[in-house]
Structure 1
Amino acid sequence: MSVLPLVFTSGWASGINAYAVVFLLGLMGATGVTDEVPASLERPDVLIVAGVLFLCEAVADKIPFVDSAWDVVHTVIRPVAGAVVAALLAGQNGSLPELAAAAVGGSTALASHLVKAGTRIAVNTSPEPASNIVLSLAEDLGVSVIIVFALFHPLAAAIIAGTLLVLGIITVVFLFSRIRRFLRRWKARRAEKRLAAPT
C-alpha cells in the first residue's frame, strides 16, 4: 500500500505540532500498536526529547503573543520535521521515494504552519486569552486524533487533513485584513516605545 496518505497527514500535523507527531508516532511504534513507524522514531531518547518539547509547546501555545513568537521560531523547524518524518515513513514502507516523500511532508507542513501562524495572529487581536487556550487545545487534540487515525485509516485521514488545510487557508485569507490591522498597530506601538525610550 502507498505511504503517501500517511506522509501527507503527518506533514499537515507537523505544521501544527511537530513534537506531538514525533512523540505519538514513536510511542505507537514502541508499544507495538503499529509496525508502520520507523525504529528511529521509537528510540527512548527521541521519545523523551519530543515529549519534553511537546510539553513546552503545549504551554507556550496557550499564551497570547508568546504563541506567535513560538510560531516564528518554528517556521523552519516544523517544515523540516515534516520532511524528515515523511522521509523516514517512506524509507520504512518503500513504496514512495524518500526525496519525494520529504517534499510532500515538508511542503504540507509549511502550508499548515502558515495557516496556524496566521490564525494565531488573528486570534491575538482579541483582548481575552481564552480563545488562545481553546484553539491550542483543539489543535493538540486534532493532531493527536488524526495521527492515530492515520496509522489505521491513512486515506481517510489524508482526506480529512486536506479538507482542514483548505478550510484553514480560506479562513486565513478571510482574516487577512484583521491580521494586517493588527500588524500595523503592533508596528506603531513599537515605534512609539522607541521614541519614548530615553536616549
Structure 2
Amino acid sequence: MPIMEIIGLAGSVSLLSGWRLYLCVFATGLAMRLDALPVPEHLASLGVLENPWVMGIAALGALAEFFADKVMWLDSIWDTVHTAVRPVGGALLALAIVDPSDPAMQVIAFMLGGGASFLAHGGKASARAVVNTSPEPVSNAVVSTGEDIATVGLLWLAYEYPIAAGSIAVVLFALMIALLLIARRIIKRVFFRSPKVER
C-alpha cells in the first residue's frame, strides 16, 4: 500500500475515533472477524481488534456511549471524561495501521493520529455544547444518531477504498475546523453577551 494511502487511512480512522472510539474499534474488529475486511499483511497488528475480549469491551463502551450521547448534558460529561481517552485511542489505532518495521513512520503516525483524534474530539464536544443550549431534547438525539451513522459509513469507506481515505481525512479535518469555529462563535454569543445599556 503506498505511503499516502496509509497516511490517509490512519488519518481517517484517527479522526473518526475522535467521534466514536469504541464504535471504531468494535466495527473494525467485527468486519475483520466476518472477513468483510481483509487486512493486508503490514496491517496484521490490527488483528488484535478481532479478539473477543477487545470486541466485547469495545461493544460495551460503544453501547454506553450510544445512550450517554443521546442525553442532554450527559453527553458533555461523557466527552469531558474522554478528552484523554479518545486521542490516545486514535493515536494507537493510527500506530497499528502503519508498517511496524518503519520506526520514523510509527512516530509520525502516533503524533498525527493523536492530534487528529484530539481535533475531532474537540470539534464534536464543542458542537454538542452548542446543541445542548437548545431547550428541546430531540436535537441531541438527531445529532448523535447522525454521528453514529457517519462514523460507520466513513469507516467502511476508508477501509474499503484506501485511495479515498485521504480525501475523507481532509474533509473530516475541514469539518472539524469549521465546527470549532462555529461553536466558538455561538458560545461567545450565548454566554458572553455584552449587557445592554439602558437609556
Shift of 1:29: 1.4
Which of 156, 162, 173 matches 1:154? 162
Gaps in structure 2 of 5+ consecutive residues: 194-199
The answer on whether the counterparts of 2:124 and 2:179 sit within 8 Å (CA) in structure 1 is no
1:25 lines up with 2:28 in the alignment: yes
Q: Which residue of 2 aligns with 1:104?
A: 112
> How much identity, in percent, do the aligned residues show?
35
Decide which moves more: 80-89 or 36-45.
36-45
CA distance in 2, matches of 1:142, 1:96: 32
Write the distance in 1 (CA, Å) between the matches of 2:32 and 2:103: 19
Partner in structure 2 of residue 9 of structure 1: 12
Tell me the SS of whatever aligns to 2:134. Answer: coil
Higher mean alpha-carbon deviation, 46-55 vs 91-100, is at: 91-100
Aligned-partner residue type, residue 103 of structure 1: M
1:121 aligns with 2:140: no
Map Cα deviations across residues 119-148 of structure 1 (whole Å, 9 max, x no partner).
001111100111110100010000101111
Tell me what 1:190 maps to. none
Q: 1:35 maps to which residue?
A: 39
Q: Does the 8 Å contact 1:4/1:96 carry over to 2?
A: no
Q: CA RMSD in A?
A: 2.1
- After superposition, what is the alpha-carbon deviation per residue over 1:159-184, rounded to whole angstroms, capped at 9, x for unaligned? 12321331332233123232235556
Give the 3 Å change call, closer, same or farther, for CA 39–45 of structure 1 in structure 2: same
Matched, 1:82 2:90: yes
**Hey, what's the Cα distance between the residues in 2 that align with 1:101 and 1:10?**
11
C-alpha distance in 1, partners of 2:98/2:183? 36
CA contact (8 A) 1:90 1:96 kept: no
Deviation at 1:83, TM superposition (A): 0.4
Residue 197 of structure 2: aligned partner: none
Deviation per CA, 1:86-140: give whole Å up to 9, x if none.
Answer: 1111146969722211112111100111000000011111001111101000100
**Per-residue CA shift, 1:14-58, capped at 9, x if unaligned?**
100000111111111122222145211111100000011000000
Worse-matched range after superposition: 98-107 or 153-162: 153-162
Distance 1:73-1:181 versus aligned 2 partners, 3 A rule = farther
Cα deviation, 1:59-103, whole Å, max 9, x if unaligned, reads: 000101000111111111000000011111114696972221111
Match of 2:183 among 171, 175, 199: 175
Aligned mate of 1:135, from 137, 143, 166? 143
When residues 92 and 62 of structure 1 are mapped into structure 2, their CA distance, relative to the original with a 3 A threshold, is farther
Aligned to 1:191: none
